[in-house]
């Protein structure tokens, strides 16, 4: 049995999801959707898929059994709700909705209709992340002494300011709304902890009311967490650093190989920790299709999304 899938939104992230959906062995027909004719033509040429310009055509299409929603966040709720009400399974990019109430409503409908509702979270499905979880669980759960995450885009050099102006700033999205959900999803997956906001500091270098850099301190009952988010700091970073008794684990996603390493303090030894090389989005789409076919609850399903969304909502609305 194969699942017919519609991918709605073909901007920055959508084509990456479309590629993994298009070539998945469990997927049959694939339809792309975007308002922009240039994006539609690009998808048609590169992936040989039919495209549409109206999301409602995909949502109402009786042959489409699942939708992937990669549109701006303010449109997620309406599209996802329509999809669920028309009996479709839904994969949502982050943040899944603008409010906790919207997400609660989507979870309610998905449960009533017995449909999969799942968060797109590439870092949760990355092989090094799974390996970290496995290492933490060895010999009982190892509790970190501290956790640090650095998510710096260096967009001024790497993408140039037009990308920020034409996407994030135009849509009224700041760096916290753009990047924080990644970290909170990762932390929620790795640790059975309730996190609290300690402090947040915002910096405004590009726009007077939309911060481009933020430093966030979280607290738990067992260890502190430092999060650094930026579009504008001049070095690209995608690092998760876990200090543990006698050693640390470093997940450096920008390395081509050896993304996960362990450094032991006493003998100053550094070792690469092996993991499988499968692409995170491929693993994620595998999981989505498997949950649909087998009736399983997704790893990043409704309860997971709600836990992340409640903390995300508190942080983004917190005063500096």
CA of 113: how far to CAs of 47, 80, 259, 285, 297, in Å? 31, 13, 40, 21, 14
CA atoms of 242 and 58, how far apart (whole Å):
43
pTM exceeding 0.85: yes
**What pLDDT score does 139 carry?**
66
CATH number of this structure's domain 127-278: 3.30.360.10
**What pLDDT score does 167 carry?**
72
CA atoms of 201 and 140, how far apart (whole Å):
36
Tokens of 139: 């010999």
Tokens of 85: 């009400």
The answer to whether 84 and 113 are in contact (CB under 8 A) is yes
CA atoms of 41 and 72, how far apart (whole Å):
20
Cα first-last separation, the chain: 52
Report the candidate in 213, 182, 204, 201 with the shortest Cα–Cα distance to residue 312: 182
Helix (H, G, I), strand (E, B) or coil at 80: helix
Bridge partners, 31 (sequence order): 6, 50
Give the pLDDT means over successive 10-residue stretches in the chain (320 positions): 96 95 96 97 96 96 97 95 98 96 98 97 95 88 93 82 75 88 96 93 93 96 96 93 95 94 94 94 97 96 96 91
Report the candidate in 175, 187, 165 with the shortest Cα–Cα distance to residue 214: 175
DSSP H/E element including 148: strand 146-152
Q: Where are the domains of the chain?
A: 3-115, 127-278
Report the candidate in 262, 215, 217 with the shortest Cα–Cα distance to residue 243: 262
Tokens of 265: 């303090």
CATH of 3-115, one of 3.10.105.10, 3.40.50.880, 3.40.50.720, 3.30.465.10: 3.40.50.720
């Amino acid at each position: 049995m194969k699942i017919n899938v519609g991918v709605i939104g073909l901007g920055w992230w959508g084509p990456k999801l479309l590629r993994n959906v298009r070539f998945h062995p469990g997927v049959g027909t694939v339809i792309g959707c975007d308002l922009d004719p240039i994006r539609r033509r690009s998808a048609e040429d590169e992936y040989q898929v039919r495209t549409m310009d109206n999301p409602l055509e995909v949502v109402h299409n009786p042959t489409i059994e699942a939708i992937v929603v990669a549109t701006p966040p303010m449109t997620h709720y309406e599209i996802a709700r329509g999809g669920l009400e028309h009996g479709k399974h839904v994969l949502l990019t982050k943040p899944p909705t603008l409010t906790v109430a919207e997400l609660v409503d989507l979870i309610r409908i998905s449960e009533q209709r017995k449909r999969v509702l799942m968060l797109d979270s590439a870092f949760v499905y990355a092989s090094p992340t799974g390996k970290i979880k496995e290492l933490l669980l060895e010999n009982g759960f190892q509790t970190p002494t501290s956790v640090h995450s650095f998510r710096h885009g260096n967009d001024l050099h790497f993408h140039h300011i037009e990308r920020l102006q034409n996407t994030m700033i135009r849509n009224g999205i700041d760096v916290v709304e753009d990047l924080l959900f990644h970290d909170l999803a990762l932390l929620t997956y790795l640790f059975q902890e309730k996190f609290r906001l300690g402090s947040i500091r915002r910096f405004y270098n590009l726009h007077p009311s939309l911060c481009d850099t933020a430093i966030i301190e979280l607290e738990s009952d067992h260890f502190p967490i430092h999060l650094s988010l930026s579009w504008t700091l001049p070095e690209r970073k995608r690092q998760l650093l876990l200090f543990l008794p006698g050693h640390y684990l470093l997940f450096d996603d920008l390395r081509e190989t050896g993304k996960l390493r362990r450094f032991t303090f006493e003998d100053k030894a550094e070792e690469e920790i092996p993991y499988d090389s499968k692409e995170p989005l491929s693993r994620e789409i595998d999981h989505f299709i498997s949950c649909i076919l087998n009736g399983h609850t997704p790893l990043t399903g409704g309860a997971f999304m709600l836990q992340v969304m409640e903390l995300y909502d508190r942080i983004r609305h917190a005063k500096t």
